[in-house]
Structure 1
Amino acid sequence: MILFRGREAHSRSFAKAVSWRILGSLDTFALSWFFTGSAKAAGAIAVTEVVTKMVLYYFHERAWANVSWGFAKDDQAAGKAA
Protein backbone atom coordinates (compact mmCIF):
# COMPACT_ATOMS: atom_id res chain seq x y z
CA MET A 1 0.00 0.00 0.00
CA ILE A 2 1.56 3.28 -1.09
CA LEU A 3 0.06 5.25 1.80
CA PHE A 4 2.01 3.32 4.44
CA ARG A 5 5.77 2.83 4.07
CA GLY A 6 6.80 2.18 7.65
CA ARG A 7 9.22 -0.35 9.06
CA GLU A 8 6.50 -2.56 10.49
CA ALA A 9 4.78 -5.33 8.52
CA HIS A 10 1.03 -5.03 8.03
CA SER A 11 0.55 -8.39 9.80
CA ARG A 12 2.36 -7.05 12.89
CA SER A 13 0.20 -3.92 12.94
CA PHE A 14 -2.89 -6.11 12.63
CA ALA A 15 -1.80 -8.44 15.47
CA LYS A 16 -1.13 -5.44 17.70
CA ALA A 17 -4.54 -4.01 16.82
CA VAL A 18 -6.29 -7.27 17.73
CA SER A 19 -4.49 -7.69 21.06
CA TRP A 20 -5.11 -4.04 21.97
CA ARG A 21 -8.81 -4.36 21.08
CA ILE A 22 -9.20 -7.41 23.31
CA LEU A 23 -7.77 -5.49 26.24
CA GLY A 24 -9.79 -2.38 25.38
CA SER A 25 -13.00 -4.35 25.00
CA LEU A 26 -12.54 -6.01 28.37
CA ASP A 27 -12.14 -2.55 29.86
CA THR A 28 -15.21 -1.25 28.02
CA PHE A 29 -17.23 -4.26 29.18
CA ALA A 30 -16.18 -3.82 32.82
CA LEU A 31 -16.90 -0.08 32.84
CA SER A 32 -20.21 -0.53 31.00
CA TRP A 33 -21.31 -3.22 33.46
CA PHE A 34 -20.31 -0.99 36.39
CA PHE A 35 -22.28 1.99 35.07
CA THR A 36 -25.34 0.15 33.70
CA GLY A 37 -25.55 -2.75 36.15
CA SER A 38 -26.41 -4.99 33.19
CA ALA A 39 -24.03 -7.58 31.78
CA LYS A 40 -26.23 -7.82 28.66
CA ALA A 41 -26.01 -4.08 27.97
CA ALA A 42 -22.29 -4.11 28.75
CA GLY A 43 -21.77 -6.95 26.28
CA ALA A 44 -23.70 -5.13 23.57
CA ILE A 45 -21.64 -1.99 24.10
CA ALA A 46 -18.34 -3.90 24.11
CA VAL A 47 -19.17 -5.91 20.98
CA THR A 48 -20.35 -2.83 19.08
CA GLU A 49 -17.12 -0.92 19.59
CA VAL A 50 -14.74 -3.78 18.74
CA VAL A 51 -14.63 -3.52 14.95
CA THR A 52 -14.58 0.26 14.62
CA LYS A 53 -11.84 0.76 17.19
CA MET A 54 -9.73 -2.08 15.78
CA VAL A 55 -9.88 -0.54 12.31
CA LEU A 56 -9.12 2.94 13.65
CA TYR A 57 -6.14 1.63 15.63
CA TYR A 58 -4.74 -0.22 12.61
CA PHE A 59 -4.79 2.91 10.45
CA HIS A 60 -3.44 5.01 13.31
CA GLU A 61 -0.47 2.64 13.67
CA ARG A 62 0.18 2.55 9.92
CA ALA A 63 0.08 6.35 9.75
CA TRP A 64 2.55 6.64 12.64
CA ALA A 65 4.80 4.12 10.87
CA ASN A 66 5.38 6.87 8.26
CA VAL A 67 6.51 9.41 10.84
CA SER A 68 10.29 9.35 11.26
CA TRP A 69 10.24 11.51 14.39
CA GLY A 70 11.59 9.64 17.43
CA PHE A 71 13.56 6.99 15.53
CA ALA A 72 17.35 6.92 15.75
CA LYS A 73 19.01 7.04 12.34
CA ASP A 74 20.40 3.64 11.32
CA ASP A 75 24.00 4.91 11.09
CA GLN A 76 23.74 6.69 14.47
CA ALA A 77 22.27 3.60 16.13
CA ALA A 78 25.07 1.46 14.67
CA GLY A 79 27.69 3.87 16.03
CA LYS A 80 26.19 3.75 19.53
CA ALA A 81 26.10 -0.06 19.51
CA ALA A 82 29.82 -0.31 18.67
Structure 2
Amino acid sequence: METPKRSIVKAVIWNVIGLMSMAMVGLWATGSLAMGGKMAAINTAIGLSCYVIYERVWARVSWGRVRG
Protein backbone atom coordinates (compact mmCIF):
# COMPACT_ATOMS: atom_id res chain seq x y z
CA MET A 1 0.00 0.00 0.00
CA GLU A 2 1.16 3.50 -0.77
CA THR A 3 1.86 6.00 2.01
CA PRO A 4 -0.12 9.26 2.14
CA LYS A 5 3.13 11.20 1.66
CA ARG A 6 3.90 9.32 -1.57
CA SER A 7 0.37 9.99 -2.87
CA ILE A 8 0.74 13.70 -2.14
CA VAL A 9 4.17 13.96 -3.81
CA LYS A 10 2.87 12.16 -6.90
CA ALA A 11 -0.14 14.46 -7.00
CA VAL A 12 1.95 17.61 -6.66
CA ILE A 13 4.32 16.58 -9.47
CA TRP A 14 1.41 15.62 -11.73
CA ASN A 15 -0.33 18.91 -10.99
CA VAL A 16 2.78 20.98 -11.77
CA ILE A 17 2.73 19.35 -15.20
CA GLY A 18 -0.99 20.09 -15.46
CA LEU A 19 -0.49 23.68 -14.29
CA MET A 20 2.01 24.36 -17.05
CA SER A 21 -0.12 22.80 -19.77
CA MET A 22 -3.32 24.49 -18.56
CA ALA A 23 -1.56 27.86 -18.41
CA MET A 24 -0.56 27.42 -22.05
CA VAL A 25 -4.11 26.46 -23.02
CA GLY A 26 -5.49 29.41 -21.03
CA LEU A 27 -3.04 31.78 -22.70
CA TRP A 28 -3.96 30.42 -26.13
CA ALA A 29 -7.72 30.58 -25.41
CA THR A 30 -7.81 34.04 -23.85
CA GLY A 31 -4.70 35.76 -25.17
CA SER A 32 -3.99 36.88 -21.60
CA LEU A 33 -1.20 35.44 -19.49
CA ALA A 34 -2.91 36.67 -16.29
CA MET A 35 -6.25 35.07 -17.16
CA GLY A 36 -4.58 31.89 -18.37
CA GLY A 37 -2.63 31.73 -15.11
CA LYS A 38 -5.78 32.20 -13.03
CA MET A 39 -7.55 29.46 -14.96
CA ALA A 40 -4.57 27.16 -14.49
CA ALA A 41 -4.29 27.89 -10.75
CA ILE A 42 -7.97 27.17 -10.13
CA ASN A 43 -7.84 24.01 -12.22
CA THR A 44 -4.71 22.84 -10.38
CA ALA A 45 -6.20 23.43 -6.93
CA ILE A 46 -9.31 21.45 -7.80
CA GLY A 47 -7.35 18.74 -9.60
CA LEU A 48 -4.82 18.30 -6.79
CA SER A 49 -7.54 17.85 -4.20
CA CYS A 50 -9.46 15.36 -6.33
CA TYR A 51 -6.33 13.42 -7.26
CA VAL A 52 -5.16 12.97 -3.66
CA ILE A 53 -8.59 11.70 -2.63
CA TYR A 54 -8.74 9.43 -5.68
CA GLU A 55 -5.29 7.94 -4.97
CA ARG A 56 -6.08 7.34 -1.30
CA VAL A 57 -9.34 5.57 -2.16
CA TRP A 58 -7.59 3.34 -4.72
CA ALA A 59 -4.80 2.58 -2.23
CA ARG A 60 -7.45 0.80 -0.13
CA VAL A 61 -8.88 -1.25 -3.02
CA SER A 62 -7.36 -4.71 -3.27
CA TRP A 63 -8.97 -5.59 -6.60
CA GLY A 64 -6.45 -6.29 -9.34
CA ARG A 65 -3.44 -6.65 -7.06
CA VAL A 66 -1.29 -9.74 -7.17
CA ARG A 67 0.20 -10.91 -3.93
CA GLY A 68 3.58 -12.50 -4.33
> Taking structure 2 as the reference length, what is the TM-score of the superposition?
0.90
Counterpart in the other structure of 2:61: 67
Query: What letter corresponds to residue 10 of structure 1 in structure 2?
Result: P
In 1, Cα distance between the equivalents of 2:49 and 2:7?
A: 11
CA RMSD of aligned residues (A): 1.0
- Greater than 6 Å deviation, 4+ residue runs: none
Counterpart in the other structure of 1:9: 3
Q: Which has the higher contact order (CA 8 A, sep 6+)?
A: 1
> Taking structure 1 as the reference length, what is the TM-score of the superposition?
0.76
In 2, Cα distance between the equivalents of 1:71 and 1:56?
A: 23
Which 10-residue stretch deviates more, 10-19 or 49-58?
A: 49-58
Structure 1: runs of 5 or more not aligned: 1-6, 75-82
> How many pairs were matched up?
68
Bigger radius of gyration: 1
